[in-house]
Structure formats: C-alpha cells, structure tokens
Structure 1
C-alpha cells in the first residue's frame, strides 16, 4: 500500500456547499466534525448501482480509517462494484448528515485487510480472521473487503442546519482522476 493511500498529507478543504438551489450561507463545518461522525457511526448506508443502472442501498458495518471507508460485504453490491466502482456511503442517522462519494476498490493482502479486521474488532467487539483476499467470521461466513476512497464529502449539522452545509474535496489519486475524467464527474 502506498503512503498516498494510507494518509493524505493535507486535510480536505471545506467550502460552502450548493444545496436547495443555493449556496449555503455558512459558517462551514470543520473537517474534524465530519471525521468524528464517520469514525463513531454505528451503522452506515452504502449506495451502489447495478449493471442495469438500478440503485442499490444497504446498511452495513464499517470503519473510517486512513481517510478511507473500509467495509466487507458478501451481498450483491460486491459484484456491482466490479462493474462500476463509484459509490457513496452515508451515516445511518439523518440529524447530522455526512455523505461520502468516491470510488471503491477491492482490498487484497493480509496487511491491508487487517485494517478492517482490527477496526471492526475494536469498534464492534466482533472478531474477524483474515486471509489473503477475505475476512471470515467465527460462524464460517466470509466476504471480500473493499475500501471507498473519497473524492468529496458533504455534511451539515442538524435537520434544519442546511446553512452549515459543507463540501470537502479530497485530492484525487491518479487512478481515481482517470476514472473521473472518463465519466465526466
């Protein structure tokens, strides 16, 4: 794993987001606010797209580490991500909103997969064992591991807190940038 993937050297810059057909008047939220919510959320919603273009959302456990969202899934979303790696993940609750948009990649290798396994162990008190390309539960289930690398994150505080709607842009890796250029995003 490269150092760029492990940790961006700079925090993303927050700007007022365009929401409800206008730019939020602010003040913007600091990145530490969004990062704290991403780290502490008990459950997330992952949104992917089927090969036919149908949206697919599902709740799942995950961890926010090293400026990436890490998760595993034996659900059909794994197959969808092979066709279209673009995805978003959102917090389970809607009072304080954080939405991450980016591209997912399959995680291979014991060292990289251990990031998820160790994080899940600490956060959920759920033991996972690892192999070269999967995590395994004590009940015999296994699933591939994925990492969502953010390109942008949106957030605002409270149901009526749209005034604080903030957009944080992440530096894109070369690989993500090429995918972005091809899709026009």
Structure 2
C-alpha cells in the first residue's frame, strides 16, 4: 500500500517538474531571405481565363508542406485549412493570411483539389524565394514560409506558430 502511494506521489511530482521545465516555443521572427535563391517567376505564372479578353497572368506557389499561396497586385497571401500554427478562431473552415490584411477566417478557398482552375501549382523549394512587384516570399530549410510586401508588412507560417507583422 505504501509502495503504491509512494509511486503515485513520485509520478505526480515528476510530471509537475516536467511541466515546469517545458519550454514553450515562440513563433519565429521574420527571416532574412536575402541569401535565398530567386526562382524564375515565369515558372510559377498561370494564365487564367478572362472571358472576352486576354487571360489573366497570376503567380501561385505551394509551400513544401502543402499551403497554397498567390500574389495579388502588391501583396501576397495564402489560403487553406492546413496553415500551421493557426488558432481555431481564425478558421471558418479555412484561413486566409495576407501581407496587407493579416490572419483571418474565410469560408471559401479558390483551390480545388490543390489546384487553381485545374492548374497544378509548383512547389517553392526550401531556401528559395520568389519576388513579384516588390513582394517577396520564401521558404527556409525548417519548413517556415515568409512573405513581405513593399510596405514592410509580412507574415510567417510555421509549425511553431503563424504570425502577421504590421511592420517587418
């Protein structure tokens, strides 16, 4: 009986000690992408139908962990139900993260089966970046994706937590 009580006490004390020593990781800071290899934007450009006019040229990419992203005018954004480090309040069931607007829930996504209007998206590899109209997005070798616009607003998508920065 005493042995059982001592074992329970020991396990409870060990658990409390482990909880006290647990380090909670902070979301990563904005990375320096200046050393990343730039990709050819044309390889990520998709022509989308534009009835009665020339097709719209849009730039899309998918992160190594499957998050779909695109460039719009002077911003970049990512949409999905698989964005890492997002709280439940920012899902509906999808999340939209953009350099200009931050993190917000959204009820729809333009992507169907991981494609945009039937077009496959190309993966932006680790340690590579893509720049469109002064907006840059890149992926580090730990699976973190970051985007920054010309006004200095940006976001980081990471398993440690995703964050929007009003100024990088």
Shorter-chain TM-score range: under 0.3
Larger RCO (CA under 8 A, 6+ residues apart): 1
TM-score between the two structures when normalised by the length of structure 2: 0.26
Between Structure 1 and Structure 2, the one with more helix by share is 1
TM-score between the two structures when normalised by the length of structure 1: 0.25
Report the structure number with the largest CA radius of gyration. Answer: 2
